[in-house]
Structure 1
Amino acid sequence: MRGTWGNVRGWDRLHTRRDVVVVFFIMLAGLVPRLYLLWATDSVIDSDEAIVGLMAKHILEGRPWPVFYYGQHYMGSLEAILTAGVFGLMGMSNWSLKVVPLFFSIVFIGCVYALARRFTDRLGASVAALLAALGPSALILWSTKARGGFIEMVVIGTYALILGADILRYRSLRASQYFLVGVVVGIGWWVNNQIIFYGAALACCLAILTFRRGGIGKTVELGLVGATGFLLGGWPFWYQNLTERPWFQSRELFGRASPREMLDHLGGYVTEALPIILGARRFWSNADVFPGASMMAFVLYGAALCVVTITWLNLPVSGFREAVRTKPGKRLLSGLLLALFVVGVPLIFSASRYGWLSQAPRYLLPLYSVIFVFVGVAASSLWAAGGLVPRVAGLLLAGGGLGLNLASMFANGGALPGQPFVFRDERVRPDHRELYHWLEAHDYRSIKTNYWIGYRVAFETEERITFSRFRGPQTIRIPEYEQQAPTGLEESVLVLVPQEAEYVTRGLSDLGYLFEADPVGGYVVVHHIRPIVHRGPVVPLYADSIHVSSRDDWKPALVDGDLGTRWGSGEPQHPDMEIEVSLPQPTELTGVDIDHGFWTSDYARALTIELVRPDGSSCAVLETRRNPSVEYVAGEQRFLSLTFPPVLTSAVRLIQRGEHPILDWSVAELTLFGSEPEATQEQ
């Protein structure tokens, strides 16, 4: 029968005109949900996508080509390089940023068809490709995201499976084919290390083939050929890791889960990730798209696997056994490639450090290379078996899969992605035009804001406005932004979501600052920040007058004027760590600045600042533990700036009362401010 797994006619007639026509129209169908998603969201991007756009902009400007996605040592820059070419042709915009992933997502449909065609006839391949074209919401969403190479890696991996399937089908021992597979997997390794899902299955099956046909010697020989291709294909990855110090910084990728964590990850894979991948749920959701959707997905894909297994193993089931015409060895080895892939993906995922991401399983997108092929093979095999029941079952498999995908994408208002959360339940605004107009009208070229707002601002304004981070995430993608940004509060322009602004404005008031807060485009811009008291001159400090609770040998770094040095506690934070500065004579103070330099994560988890008067009494001018608003403003920041009315002081005491299981308490520079001869409170 034509639908049989491994049918010779299904393998050999791969490039007929009819195949090309079928694939073309299925690709056109695949454009519909993807373009709908872009239209419905006005092609809005997030900051992770903006990074790709900024990389492409920098490439066009003639800067050195980055090897990896900014701020990390994995995920290659292929997408950014290709996007630079698109920007050169179309200009820089949110729409043009989406072109490369959109293009690869359409190519993916053709790759699924080509892979399925190696295992079934045109009908089965068409079913598989149509499921990829009108895919679940997770696939469609990531088909339009410029997130550094996710969909590109899936295309590269699917193509590697096609090459491997051809080798296994024809039992080829040609070195050039093994070399090509190695090169393709190597390119995928540079683009996105999830290619390991594909590489592991290919390596196992090709090793079995070469050992059976050529023995251990041939296996070693062709293995070295493939490894050479792998190293050459992934050359940018290896070059960067071997030439940049410290060596092999990408080793962070290889963190493993503990046995207990792996079991938890496997549980999350089955109960959370798999329903999302199969279209029964959406990203970050525990709710089915309709009642019973998860059960339907498991039954549908489970039934497809059963039919494929019967066909693959030539089991004595009526309607199948007599129709299988290829040799068992060919079926077993070629089918083993896909079987190992499907089994290997959850095992590798669960053993990795990323296995906890079961509600946003972007690391499981490679499953789409194969699961639609299984449904296509099963549907075609049932149809070819003849009879009413098998054919109805085949139609139900294909129709059920397609219906599940469409429900995943369009049911209940559609699977339109939301913007990232910033503070509590408040998200990044989808439209920033009013914000950009306001900032440029006030000639503000650098702002302080959340990661998810900031990089998008930089991209959409073509870096006319840049930012430095305020609160988390603390990941630095473009260090120049931080280096060029104002360090003190008085020069800062804060762009905040409304609830966050309430917190921050209270904290600024308690730190001794006045400010203006203007609502702009769904945000609150806090600017014109100034102290309530005019600060006086900097008070000279000397290491000999400083007492610290630990690491006395490091205390000169507190007052050396070098942000590249620091005093650190030398041990994880615990209560009653202390820095005390004795003044040579009683001095009126109006402010304290703490600069954390490069060690912003080492801020005191609960900080008290006390001023000791000449009579020995003391007053606390700051207690972050009792003031969550102040803690929010000061925590995770490079700079803590405190202003207060003049206080005659003989010593300043900084007491760390919080705890952290790992991080030190660090201070790069400590600065005290005296009072003006006629300090006045600003009205």
Structure 2
Amino acid sequence: WFGTTAFAIRVYPFLAGAAFFLLSLRLAREMFGERVALWTALLLAVPPVYITIATSVIPPDNYLATVALGSLALLITHRIVHAPAAPGRPSRRHLLLGIVCGLGFWVHILFIDFLVVAVGFAWLKDKLLPVRQGGWAPAGGFALGGLPLIAYNILHAFDTFIVARTVPAAVALEKGWMAVREIFPVLVGGVVPLYGDNPNLVHFSDPVWWSMAAFYVGLAAWIAWRFRIEWGRLARVSTAGTSGVSILVVLVLVSFVVFARSDRANSWAFRYLLPVMSALPILAALGLAKMAERSRRPVLAVGLAIVAIQAWGHGVVWAAWGDAETRARLDLPDDRPLVRYLDENGIRRAYGHFWISYRLTYETGERIICAQPYDERFGGRYRPKYTDRVDRATPAAFITLPGLGLEPDLIEHDLKLIGGRYRRVQVPPYTLFVDFKPPDEGVPLDPAGWGVRASHNGESARNAIDGDIFSRWGTGTAQRPGQWFEVDLGTRVPVTRVGMALGQFGSDLPRGIAVLGSLDGTIWTELARAERHLGGLVWGEFHPVFDVPGRFELALPDRPVRFLRLVQTGTADPFDWSISELFVYGRRPAAPGWPGWPSWDDSQRELGRRLFRDALEALEEGKEDAALVSLDRAVRADPGHASAWQRLANVAGRRGIADAGALRLELARVNRERGLVSEADALPASRGKKAGPARP
């Protein structure tokens, strides 16, 4: 139903839009009468552009369905608060309200604004509702309507609510003003977004915009004064003598507060204020209807002017989308040539920015799986869906689009640094990288017998070659050009690659580096240089892969050296430069019995396990903050199992130090699902012992 079908793309948004329109009319009629309903119909007949774009034209993300269900919840709430009902016990309306709220919250967490208003006014109407006979009805209805959401979160440590982080009050005040200044004009049609939530906006001329602003400021002032008695009654925690205006105004205020407190809100996150559209057209219609009672023709002209402005906004979008160059700038290019190229070359797996990856996967019905190469939106906290599939696939492609995520020149820069071969292909406006051939990497060299020294903290330099991912060498001061780390390989060896693992200290990645080689430790030759480097682009089994935090590789020319010197060329405040383990690859055959240096994956997985054990120990000692820090580091250390570590972290944060056993139960479930951690790792029995890859 919700794949690439006509129902999902056309019918479902149309039904949601029709429901929102009809429910808005019904709500206006029941609250204020026929005249206000007619004005509401006029204002919504040609709605503000953002409602059309973000809720109907774009494949559904359930925003319009959420607002429609919210309008239904407001309608039921109004009937509960203001319609006559038998006193003393909850009615069927309470049960229905609970079901609608549960369903709306399942459809999208954005429904929280409506939920607060519905629960708040139902309680104001009857403060003894929870203890009355049948008082279970609203909560029972909510559980029934939201059953899929509740079941999912019980099984996944309430993952849905990870996004519900808040900001301090001072930041919230700034975001609240930003919402009034930058978000509100988009919602009322005074600013035209050319595509969903993005900064490509068209502004009206100042006279038009200031006229609209004056109307809405005047509307707010009139409502505040005309219904001032209602605000006093609400302040006394009562709904007696109030009207539907109270419900609508409180919804607007709640929406602005929720937006301001959210750490995800920004200057073009318009969708987070979308719930106000269940109230704003009706409040505007109420103001116009009251004004028309005194002067009909001028007010009709004002209403028609608002509709004309909104219609003009639709024309602007239509013209923009009809221009190929503008579509490309809006990240909406025609991707049929891209799909045709991938099909003709047998490429069924690819990496792309999340705007590209979701669209391509959706439009091809998952015939082509396109995934984010790493977690672009949340800084590596989650493992993107399908990325593992692309990591293991061949052939695969990197797809880039100017202005979206990684620039093609930057990817090509890093591809050259890690070696191997590839082709750069133009499928305008896309740039693709395909036909990957890995370099001849050589074998990992045994560090036994190496000598090391460094420009800073030379006494800890051997930590970089001790086989322990949890120890490190670091400069102990901010990164500055000229800092160096030197290795004496003991004999001349043709070297092909050098790599560094940062372990727990991914932020200490060198911001620029030069690799020098020497036969005698006196005369040096530059072998490789990276003045800028993304970090984390390394060769996988078949092609380069991203999302390996704290990992850095450089290909070297196949030439013999005895000494290698890594020289810092970048600057980073306040981060120092550190190396947990240094890896050197060369042509020398591995020594008899030498199993090779620990793989990157083994090292990172071991780091995740070690950090998790540290977290359990901290929990048992009552150090909850330290436990959560360790769990967060475990997520970053082992991104392949990030969701599992995050579930564990959620349990810790939710249940606190009093129930460390809950962590073990969650761990056991993870272990059964994925074989991620041994049962022994679940117990902090290794207290005081040093864990890490053993020396061969």
Q: Would you say same fold, with TM above 0.5?
A: yes
Task: Report the equivalent of 1:376.
Answer: 285
One-letter code aligned to 2:211: M
One-letter code aligned to 1:400: A
TM-score by length of 2: 0.67
- 1:27-176 to 2 correspondence within 5 Å? 83-84=1-2, 87=3, 92-93=4-5, 96-144=8-56, 145-172=58-85, 174-175=89-90, 176=92
Give the unaligned 5+ runs of structure 2. 194-198, 231-237, 539-544, 590-696
> 1:363 aligns to what SS in structure 2?
helix
Structure 1 residues 97-148: Cα deviation after superposition (integer angstroms, max 9, x where no partner): 3432332122110111111111222232132133223111111111222353
With over 3 angstroms needed to count, the CA separation of the structure-2 counterparts of 1:158 and 1:359, relative to structure 1, is: same
Task: Report the equivalent of 1:22.
Answer: none
Q: Does the CA contact (< 8 Å) of 2:371 and 2:385 recur in 1? A: no
Q: Distance in 1 between matches of 2:65 and 2:322?
A: 20
Per-residue deviation, 1:209 = 1.5
Task: Report the equivalent of 2:556.
Answer: 644
Q: Distance in 1 between matches of 2:246 and 2:298?
A: 25
With over 3 angstroms needed to count, the CA separation of the structure-2 counterparts of 1:479 and 1:471, relative to structure 1, is: closer
Match of 1:404 among 309, 312, 318: 309
> 2:334 aligns to what SS in structure 1?
coil
Task: Report the equivalent of 2:351.
Answer: 448
With over 3 angstroms needed to count, the CA separation of the structure-2 counterparts of 1:592 and 1:408, relative to structure 1, is: same
Structure 1 residues 44-68: Cα deviation after superposition (integer angstroms, max 9, x where no partner): xxxxxxxxxxxxxxxxxxxxxxxxx
Match of 1:265 among 168, 175, 181: 175
With over 3 angstroms needed to count, the CA separation of the structure-2 counterparts of 1:170 and 1:450, relative to structure 1, is: closer
RMSD: 4.4
With over 3 angstroms needed to count, the CA separation of the structure-2 counterparts of 1:482 and 1:630, relative to structure 1, is: closer
Per-residue deviation, 1:520 = 1.8
The answer to whether 1:180 aligns with 2:96 is: yes
Q: Does the CA contact (< 8 Å) of 1:446 and 1:467 recur in 2? A: yes
Q: Distance in 1 between matches of 2:284 and 2:162?
A: 37
One-letter code aligned to 2:53: L
Identity, in percent, stands at 18
Task: Report the equivalent of 1:294.
Answer: 209
Structure 1 residues 122-176: Cα deviation after superposition (integer angstroms, max 9, x where no partner): 2321321332231111111112223532112111111100000011112545423
Q: Distance in 1 between matches of 2:299 and 2:26?
A: 21
Q: Does the CA contact (< 8 Å) of 1:591 and 1:641 recur in 2? A: yes
Q: Distance in 2 between matches of 1:551 and 1:94?
A: 63
With over 3 angstroms needed to count, the CA separation of the structure-2 counterparts of 1:578 and 1:380, relative to structure 1, is: same
Task: Report the equivalent of 1:236.
Answer: 148
With over 3 angstroms needed to count, the CA separation of the structure-2 counterparts of 1:93 and 1:569, relative to structure 1, is: farther
Per-residue deviation, 1:512 = 4.8
> 1:282 aligns to what SS in structure 2?
strand
One-letter code aligned to 1:493: A
Give the unaligned 5+ runs of structure 1. 1-82, 212-216, 316-327, 559-564, 677-683
With over 3 angstroms needed to count, the CA separation of the structure-2 counterparts of 1:235 and 1:242, relative to structure 1, is: same
Match of 2:363 among 460, 468, 476: 460
Task: Report the equivalent of 1:623.
Answer: 529
Task: Report the equivalent of 1:274.
Answer: 184
One-letter code aligned to 2:343: E
The answer to whether 1:367 aligns with 2:307 is: no
> 1:292 aligns to what SS in structure 2?
helix
Number of paired residues?
550
Q: Does the CA contact (< 8 Å) of 2:449 and 2:490 recur in 1? A: no
Q: Distance in 2 between matches of 1:134 and 1:469?
A: 37
TM-score by length of 1: 0.68
With over 3 angstroms needed to count, the CA separation of the structure-2 counterparts of 1:622 and 1:487, relative to structure 1, is: farther
Q: Does the CA contact (< 8 Å) of 1:535 and 1:675 recur in 2? A: no
One-letter code aligned to 1:208: L
Structure 1 residues 563-616: Cα deviation after superposition (integer angstroms, max 9, x where no partner): xx887789999427987665353211123356899x997582514252443411
Per-residue deviation, 1:351 = 2.0
Q: Distance in 2 between matches of 1:480 and 1:149?
A: 20
> 1:406 aligns to what SS in structure 2?
helix
- 1:655-670 to 2 correspondence within 5 Å? 658-659=571-572, 670=583
With over 3 angstroms needed to count, the CA separation of the structure-2 counterparts of 1:437 and 1:359, relative to structure 1, is: closer
Q: Does the CA contact (< 8 Å) of 2:519 and 2:562 recur in 1? A: yes
Task: Report the equivalent of 1:525.
Answer: 432
With over 3 angstroms needed to count, the CA separation of the structure-2 counterparts of 1:292 and 1:667, relative to structure 1, is: farther
> 1:143 aligns to what SS in structure 2?
helix
Q: Distance in 2 between matches of 1:652 and 1:188?
A: 61
Q: Does the CA contact (< 8 Å) of 2:167 and 2:262 recur in 1? A: yes
Q: Does the CA contact (< 8 Å) of 1:610 and 1:621 recur in 2? A: yes
Task: Report the equivalent of 2:388.
Answer: 483
The answer to whether 1:254 aligns with 2:164 is: yes
Q: Distance in 1 between matches of 2:71 and 2:290?
A: 22
Q: Distance in 2 between matches of 1:615 and 1:293?
A: 76
Per-residue deviation, 1:281 = 0.5
Match of 1:430 among 297, 312, 333: 333
Q: Distance in 2 between matches of 1:125 and 1:141?
A: 24
One-letter code aligned to 2:184: L
- 1:214-225 to 2 correspondence within 5 Å? 217-218=128-129, 220-221=131-132, 225=137
Task: Report the equivalent of 1:590.
Answer: 496
Task: Report the equivalent of 1:516.
Answer: 423
Greater CA deviation, 467-476 or 153-162? 467-476
Per-residue deviation, 1:226 = 2.9
Structure 1 residues 417-462: Cα deviation after superposition (integer angstroms, max 9, x where no partner): 999999xx96645211212222222222323333322332222233
Q: Does the CA contact (< 8 Å) of 1:420 and 1:428 recur in 2? A: no
Task: Report the equivalent of 1:202.
Answer: 118
**More RCO (CA 8 Å, sep 6+):** 1
One-letter code aligned to 1:604: L
Per-residue deviation, 1:651 = 4.8
Task: Report the equivalent of 1:493.
Answer: 397
Task: Report the equivalent of 1:67.
Answer: none
Q: Distance in 1 between matches of 2:476 and 2:5?
A: 46
Q: Does the CA contact (< 8 Å) of 1:592 and 1:673 recur in 2? A: no
Q: Does the CA contact (< 8 Å) of 2:485 and 2:565 recur in 1? A: yes
One-letter code aligned to 1:206: A
> 1:493 aligns to what SS in structure 2?
strand
> 2:305 aligns to what SS in structure 1?
helix
Q: Does the CA contact (< 8 Å) of 1:132 and 1:368 recur in 2? A: no
> 2:191 aligns to what SS in structure 1?
coil
Greater CA deviation, 100-109 or 392-401? 392-401
Task: Report the equivalent of 2:685.
Answer: none
> 1:261 aligns to what SS in structure 2?
helix
Q: Does the CA contact (< 8 Å) of 1:572 and 1:661 recur in 2? A: no
With over 3 angstroms needed to count, the CA separation of the structure-2 counterparts of 1:339 and 1:496, relative to structure 1, is: closer
One-letter code aligned to 1:177: R
Q: Distance in 1 between matches of 2:581 and 2:396?
A: 20
Q: Does the CA contact (< 8 Å) of 1:506 and 1:630 recur in 2? A: no
Task: Report the equivalent of 1:575.
Answer: 479
With over 3 angstroms needed to count, the CA separation of the structure-2 counterparts of 1:171 and 1:630, relative to structure 1, is: closer
One-letter code aligned to 2:296: R
With over 3 angstroms needed to count, the CA separation of the structure-2 counterparts of 1:513 and 1:662, relative to structure 1, is: same
With over 3 angstroms needed to count, the CA separation of the structure-2 counterparts of 1:480 and 1:252, relative to structure 1, is: closer
Q: Distance in 1 between matches of 2:148 and 2:463?
A: 43
